[in-house]
A = this chain, B = another copy of it.
Amino acid sequence: MKLDERHLIQLAAVVKTGGVTEGAALLGLAQPAVSRTLSMLEKRIGEPLFIKGRRPLQPTPLGLSLAEHGLVMLATSRKASDLVESFRVGKSGVVRIGGTPFFMDALIAQLCAEFQASHPDVRIDQSYGYFPDLRAALKADQIDLAICPIDILDEGSGLEFQQILPGRNVVACRVTHPLLLKRRPQPSHLLDYPWIAPPPGSPLLADLRALLLSFGATEIKIRYTGGSLMSVINYLKSADALTVMPHSVVFAQRKEKTITALPITIPHPERALAILKRIDAPRAPAVDQFAEFVRLGFQDLRHLIKRHEESVIWGV
């Protein structure tokens, strides 16, 4: 006996409210529709669902049991509707983001947490990579957003990118680093200390090479490499080493008072931190909400970072 799910729901509404009229009202239907459904159900099942000729309508045991199942369906249906609704306004769903390790660790993870304060049912899947991988992942629909530095000249093919922070590198060291004691540290001093290399493949690594060579280094003394941001910071904490970092990453650590930037201006790359999306494929609303959240978050940060940059690096 195949039963129409809609019929069970109507039965449930009637049993729940105790009357055909009220049950119909609960579902937003006219009374005769529900009445007919019940008659049809009884005829098709061949068993009475209600005790005839009693006026507070009283279900038979079978009617009651079936109504319970209908109630499950009603609830499930409601939940499904709610799910769709919340998905459409970006309150549920999955956001798959990829980005360069330092930015993700230093800035984005925290933003994710803040985002979910208002979007608790949105799951965020994070992965790491650099621009070429991230672009490929975007195009293969493995991620929805990429957050990474890109060369400003780059024109995405099928990709939309919003710049959220200008590229600006600094030399990072621990707050007790001896170079910080000098009134005017010279670039040549930088070669006196061991260096930490950013992860292989990162734009930072290229920046570091260019920087050191421009300062007259013949060979580059790399003492440590391969670590994630936390490794690098923990290493920096324990030695007078130096490394190149995006200023925003150092900025994000300012509260910890463990690392800071040397007041030495170094050439900033022709690069900017950006959010990349596919322009063609449809994105889940939650993805757009998250992208917007990140954009606004950085908008707020931008002038803070700027001021910090001026005070720390140029000692304003």
Contact = CB atoms under 8 A, between A and B. Distances in A.
A72 interface: yes
Contacts of A73: 5, 73, 76-77
Interface in A288-316: none
A81 B1 contact: yes
Contact of A69 (B3, B65, B80): B80
A1 B85 contact: yes
A70 B77 CA distance: 8
Interface of A: 1-6, 8-9, 45-48, 51, 60-62, 65-66, 69-70, 72-73, 76-77, 79-81, 83-85, 87-88, 92-94, 141, 282, 284-285
A6 B5 contact: yes
Contacts of A69: 76-77, 79-80, 83
A284 B282 CA distance: 55
B83 A8 contact: no
Contacts of A87: 47, 62, 65
Contact of A84 (B66, B79, B94): B66
Given A4-B6, A66-B84, 16 more contacts: A1-B81, A2-B81, A3-B77, A5-B76, A5-B77, A6-B6, A47-B282, A61-B94, A61-B284, A62-B84, A62-B87, A65-B87, A66-B80, A66-B83, A69-B76, A72-B76
